[in-house]
Amino acid sequence: MATLLKGTAFITGAGSAGIGQYTAWAFAKHGVKRLALSDINLKALRTTVDELRNRHPDVEVESLEMDVADEGSVESGLSRTVSAFGSLDIAVNNAGVGGPMKPTAEVATDEWKRHFDINLTGVWLCERGEIQRMLKQNSNRGPREGRGTIINVASMLGLVAASPTTPATAYVAGKHAVMGLTKTDAVMYAPHGIRINAMCPGYVETPLLKAATASGIMDGEIKKTPMGRLAQMEEIADAIVFLASPFSSFMCGAGLVVDGGFTVQ
Ligand code: NAD
């Protein structure tokens, strides 16, 4: 298979058997040889890292215990990545939580703030640190000759409202904000050669959705999906590979929607 991806990649939220972990498998499969994987859950992360080393012994892996909501933790993770591998070329800001499944009238202020600390400030802290490092490594290159690509994992719920039967108010507001951050930074840093886009998955069969699917709350959402099913993790990871690769070289500030047709109705 031809090599699609080059350089050092960094992924947040790679511990659980979700989008981050499957993106790590897909990156290794498509040519990444230096991979920094991070998660707040070190035990889960060890499983991902061990499995990656088994499947791809030729890939160098750095394992980073990192809380995306904590500035010091994010900075130390990114610094370790660059000092271990010498560069940062691809970054996937994927870590996130489901948040309270409640309408606004029932959400407590602390729940709201904690959710935004992870799902919005967490993406922003990572993106800021990644941009700073990419700007530095591009400092000797001419305008638009720099390199670096950033993918923020938003959601189709960064584009449309949640339905009243799945009232994920804070989640939807946070993902819309991630889209705003993606678009604005994409415009700001395109002249420096840094490409920033968002991934907008529909409902994916990951641990994050497990409780909701088990409770039956997702049945109506699956029925509303024209393709009549949840996405598989590989289907999202392959789309992230596309966003990280030269095949998406003219995409800038876009949200790539992979949702089985949910949002086109
Ligand atoms: P997941 O729960 O399987 O994975 C999320 C990972 O993030 C976990 O390993 C968790 O430990 C980690 N994490 C949580 N808080 C963290 C923190 N503060 N710092 C660092 N790591 C932290 O979920 P997933 O479904 O794979 O979700 C990944 C991303 O995809 C999220 O941003 C989510 O909002 C988004 N997404 C998921 C779906 C879906 O249906 N599953 C749909 C659209 C978007």
Asked if residue 68 has its Cβ within 6 Å of ligand 1, the reply is yes
With respect to residue 241, please indicate whether it lies within any of the assigned structural domains. yes
pLDDT tops 70 at residue 85: yes
With respect to residue 182, please indicate whether it lies within any of the assigned structural domains. yes
Looking at ligand 1, which residue's alpha carbon is closest to its atom 3?
18
With respect to residue 263, please indicate whether it lies within any of the assigned structural domains. no
Identify the weakest region by mean pLDDT among 12-26, 129-143, 185-199.
129-143
Averaged pLDDT for residues 146-167:
95
Is pLDDT larger for residue 51 or for residue 2?
51
Averaged pLDDT for residues 51-56:
97
- Phi/psi of residue 202, nearest 5 degrees: -80, -150
pLDDT tops 70 at residue 2: no
CATH code (residue 123)? 3.40.50.720
Asked if residue 66 has its Cβ within 6 Å of ligand 1, the reply is yes
> From ligand 1's centre to the CA of 208, what distance in Å?
6
Q: What pLDDT does residue 1 have?
A: 59
Q: Which residues contact 144 (CB under 8 A, 6 or more apart)?
A: 190, 191, 192, 193
> From ligand 1's centre to the CA of 133, what distance in Å?
24
With respect to residue 3, please indicate whether it lies within any of the assigned structural domains. no
Asked if residue 158 has its Cβ within 6 Å of ligand 1, the reply is no
Quote the tokens at residue 240: 């992230």
Q: Which residues contact 107 (CB under 8 A, 6 or more apart)?
A: 100, 169, 170
DSSP 210-252: HHHHHTTTTHHHHHHSTT-SPBPHHHHHHHHHHHHSGGGTT--
**How far does CA 242 lie from the centroid of its chain?**
13
With respect to residue 17, please indicate whether it lies within any of the assigned structural domains. yes
224 noted as active-site residue: no
Mean pLDDT of the chain, nearest integer: 96
Reported confidence tier of residue 213, pLDDT bands at 50, 70, 90: confident
Quote the tokens at residue 209: 């959705």
Parent domain of 121: 8-258
DSSP 82-127: HHHHS---EEEE--------B-GGG--HHHHHHHHIIIIIHHHHHH
Asked if residue 207 has its Cβ within 6 Å of ligand 1, the reply is yes
Quote the tokens at residue 261: 């047709």
| Number of structural domains in the chain | 1
Nearest ligand 1 atom, CA 233: 26
Averaged pLDDT for residues 113-124:
98
With respect to residue 1, please indicate whether it lies within any of the assigned structural domains. no
43 noted as active-site residue: no
Q: What pLDDT does residue 146 have?
A: 80
pLDDT tops 70 at residue 37: yes
With respect to residue 32, please indicate whether it lies within any of the assigned structural domains. yes
With respect to residue 265, please indicate whether it lies within any of the assigned structural domains. no
